[in-house]
């Protein structure tokens, strides 16, 4: 099917096209110059490795301790290697041992094969033979928590793992799959496959 304009409409269309052509050309030139400006001002491609996940700092065989205002030991972190990654500001610690000292006795501790700490220190992902230890206190036996993996949410004072976990206090123990701990509310929850033994 063909469509033909009438002789009356043709001059009007020609005027529209004649008027629209410079406007269209200006729009195309404007878009082209905007695109060229965006490309020219874009960050250059870094071929030097800045965006790779490579460490900028490596510390080996370290033992750091923080002190309170009276000079008493407060907390400590020991490890065989710490690597800091500038691309996401994360840190990876091999064989970490975190300790929290108290003035009256043995420190509480958490150890693992590896710890990955996010950029602001709010999350610590512990993997491989995770063990948390709280010494005996108030006439109660020491408590040990063991799991292959544990995610610690520092600001929320919570920890969790989707996998197996076991808690032992003296001769009593409980284990299960999927574990949540809330230090603020002192609520500890196993999600499934719970077994245990309680002995006085």
Does one domain contain both 40 and 71?
no
Does one domain contain both 65 and 125?
yes
Does one domain contain both 65 and 7?
no
In a domain, 51, yes or no: no
pLDDT at 51: 65
Report strand pairing: 105-111 vs 97-102. Answer: antiparallel
CA gap 5, 107 in Å, rounded: 93
Q: Tokens for 126, please give them.
A: 């512990």
Q: 81 phi and psi, to 5 degrees?
A: -160, 140
Identify the sign of the CA torsion 126, 129, 135, 141: positive
At residue 121 the predicted structure's pLDDT band, cuts being 50, 70 and 90, is confident
Higher pLDDT, 135 or 46: 135
Q: Structural domain tally of the chain?
A: 2
In a domain, 50, yes or no: no
In a domain, 52, yes or no: no
Is residue 113's pLDDT more than 70?
yes
Q: Is 183 helix (H, G, I), strand (E, B) or coil?
A: coil
Does one domain contain both 61 and 93?
yes
Confidence (pTM): 0.69
In a domain, 161, yes or no: yes
Average pLDDT rounded to a whole number, residues 174-192: 90
pLDDT at 191: 94
In a domain, 132, yes or no: yes
In a domain, 126, yes or no: yes
In a domain, 187, yes or no: yes
Instruction: Assess contact for 135 and 142: CB atoms under 8 A.
Output: yes
CA gap 48, 86 in Å, rounded: 14
Does one domain contain both 167 and 131?
yes
CA gap 62, 77 in Å, rounded: 8
Q: Is 142 helix (H, G, I), strand (E, B) or coil?
A: coil
The rounded percent of the chain whose pLDDT value lies above 90 is 34
Q: 140, 178, 138, 139: which is closest to 161 by C-alpha?
A: 178
Host domain of residue 110: 57-197
CA gap 82, 91 in Å, rounded: 7
In a domain, 162, yes or no: yes
What CATH number does the domain containing 79 carry?
2.60.450.10
Does one domain contain both 68 and 40?
no
């Amino acid at each position: 099917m063909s469509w033909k304009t009438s002789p009356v409409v043709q001059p009007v269309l020609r005027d529209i096209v004649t008027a629209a052509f410079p406007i269209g050309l200006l729009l195309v030139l404007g878009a082209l110059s905007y695109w060229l400006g965006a490309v020219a001002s874009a960050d250059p491609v870094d071929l030097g490795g800045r965006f790779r996940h490579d460490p900028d700092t490596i510390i080996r065989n370290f033992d750091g301790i923080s002190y309170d205002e009276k000079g008493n030991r407060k907390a400590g972190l020991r490890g065989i290697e710490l690597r800091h990654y500038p691309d996401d500001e994360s840190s990876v610690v091999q064989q970490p041992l975190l300790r929290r000292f108290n003035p009256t006795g043995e420190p509480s501790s958490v150890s693992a094969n590896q710890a990955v700490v996010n950029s602001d220190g709010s999350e610590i992902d512990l993997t491989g033979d995770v063990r948390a230890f709280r010494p005996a206190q108030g006439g109660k036996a020491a408590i040990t928590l063991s799991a292959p993996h544990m995610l610690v949410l520092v600001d929320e004072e919570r920890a969790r793992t989707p996998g197996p976990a076991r808690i032992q206090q003296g001769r009593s123990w409980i284990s299960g799959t999927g574990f949540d701990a809330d230090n603020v509310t002192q609520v500890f929850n196993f999600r499934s496959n719970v077994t245990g033994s309680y002995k006085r």
